[in-house]
Structure 1
Amino acid sequence: MSTIAPEDELATIPWFHRIDLGGGVTTPGIDDTATKLSQIRMPRDLGGKTVLDVGAWDGFFSFEAERRGASRVVALDGGVWNAPQIGRRGFDYARHALGSKVEDVTLEVLEMGPGNPGVFDVVFFLGVLYHLPHPLTGILHVASCTREMLILETHVDLLDIDRPAVAYYGRDECANDPTNWCGPNGLAVEEMLRTAGFGRVVAFPPILDVHYPVRGAQPGTFGRMVFHAWK
């Protein structure tokens, strides 16, 4: 059993999300999570729905889905939870502090399928797509686990091109981060979602983003976008 006081342990965790743990304690994440929650337009009432959060990291959106009444929530992560410098300490700490019943699965996107982790009414796929060198393949795996609705949020590039296009980052062209592999434009994401079997897709206007600069790209041609898609 750890002898570290809970408040001291919290300070040693490399938090990404800002999670309100109650009692005036909010995790010191670097992400403006409250703003992102507003941007993704999560349904206010998830009563009776099963929810899968792909790329959960510290679990903010998983816990929020639970708070909004979801009957079952599964947080899934692979790369972050398997990374020794990050791991899943934040998720475990927050789940315990919140008294949450959110389940967890350690799995990569390209390992997902109807058998594992299963099929869910609502799936979150937030901030993950551009970390995949093969974005369509990733969307196909996520779609296979989606029964009704997918909420996808991603970095986008080539917004000045009026046909589906994907920028491929061979090194660290996007935010000096070699794990950022691609920047599809909004039209490309829409078409990939339709290819994956989503009959209705709503794309919300791009949010210009200075936090993920693309080397050599003109301002205004890259940013973030949110998509809602239904089977």
Structure 2
Amino acid sequence: MQSTLLPPLPEHWFHSFVFPDGVRADGVKPLTSLLEEADLIFPNRLDGRRVLDIGAWDGFFSFQAEQRGAAEVLATDHFCWSGQGWGDKRGFDHAHARFGSKVRSLDLDVADHRVEDLGQFDTVLLLGVLYHVTDPYRTLEAAAAMSSDHLVIETVTALRHEPVPAMRLFTELELDQDATNFWAPNILALREMCRRFGYSRFQVLPEGLDNQGWRRWVMPFRDKNRYRRAIFHAWR
């Protein structure tokens, strides 16, 4: 029986969890996939680092950062937590309580993150956010400004055949029948934007998505997997 001390359970979970007491939450995204992704997002321990998770939703990666040694974690969201989508903040609050977490949370839209208000963070996560915004350049610029060292982007990518930085605008409902999906960059576009925002070293996972111009023949335009997701790391 659910404890009355716990926040209410959400109607829907996006992230999946196994809590310390063995209780499971099975969301849209399977736990095995989330754990594999977490290992790519956090290749090393986070001991002593400040971490900002922008667009945290149920908070899986916020809690992973805490469990992997981060000294401080701030989880932010607005679209999901305000109920504009099909989720809300109940999943985060419930998981927070079950983990006995010290992760801080703040209802804040992506564009409203400001260094003068929050300070800078060692690692900033922008996971599953970039393709949901109408102005990805300004969104990425705002996230980059919050990071003093390391920025991690997880996003849908497209136009891998193009030898120049490019971004694809989806027609309505084209991607996953979701009207909130707007843009998909190629890796060269992510590199160029991050270079402009002061980053100098990059890594993309899986590495096959790193579309240097001479590799474009490997990834033809009509590849059925042309909208592959990527995890993109940028360091100052």
Instruction: Settle same-fold status: TM greater than 0.5.
Output: yes
Structure 1 residues 3-18: aligned runs within 5 Å: 9-10=8-9, 12-18=10-16
Question: Which residue of the partner structure matches residue 154 of structure 1?
Answer: 155
Structure 1 residues 23-102: aligned runs within 5 Å: 23-39=21-37, 40-83=40-83, 85-102=86-103
Aligned: 1:222 with 2:227: yes
List structure 1 runs of 4+ shifted beyond 4 angstroms. Answer: 3-9
Deviation, 1:172, is 1.7
Give the TM-score of the pair, scaled to structure 2: 0.85
C-alpha contact 2:8 2:90 (8 A) present in aligned 1: no
Question: What letter corresponds to residue 73 of structure 1 in structure 2?
Answer: V
Unpaired segments ≥5 residues, structure 1: 209-215
Give the TM-score of the pair, scaled to structure 1: 0.87
Question: Which residue of the partner structure matches residue 183 of structure 2?
Answer: 182
Cα 1:138/1:128, change in 2 over 3 Å = same
User: How many residues end up aligned between the 2 structures?
Assistant: 221
RMSD: 2.4
- Three-state SS of the structure 2 residue aligned to 1:63 is helix
- Three-state SS of the structure 2 residue aligned to 1:62 is helix
Aligned: 1:131 with 2:136: no
Q: Output the CA distance in 2 between the equivalents of 1:222 and 1:145.
A: 28
Unpaired segments ≥5 residues, structure 2: 210-220
Question: What letter corresponds to residue 228 of structure 2 in structure 1?
Answer: G
Question: Which residue of the partner structure matches residue 112 of structure 2?
Answer: 111
- Three-state SS of the structure 2 residue aligned to 1:115 is helix
Sequence identity, in percent?
37
Deviation, 1:224, is 0.3
Question: What letter corresponds to residue 166 of structure 2 in structure 1?
Answer: A
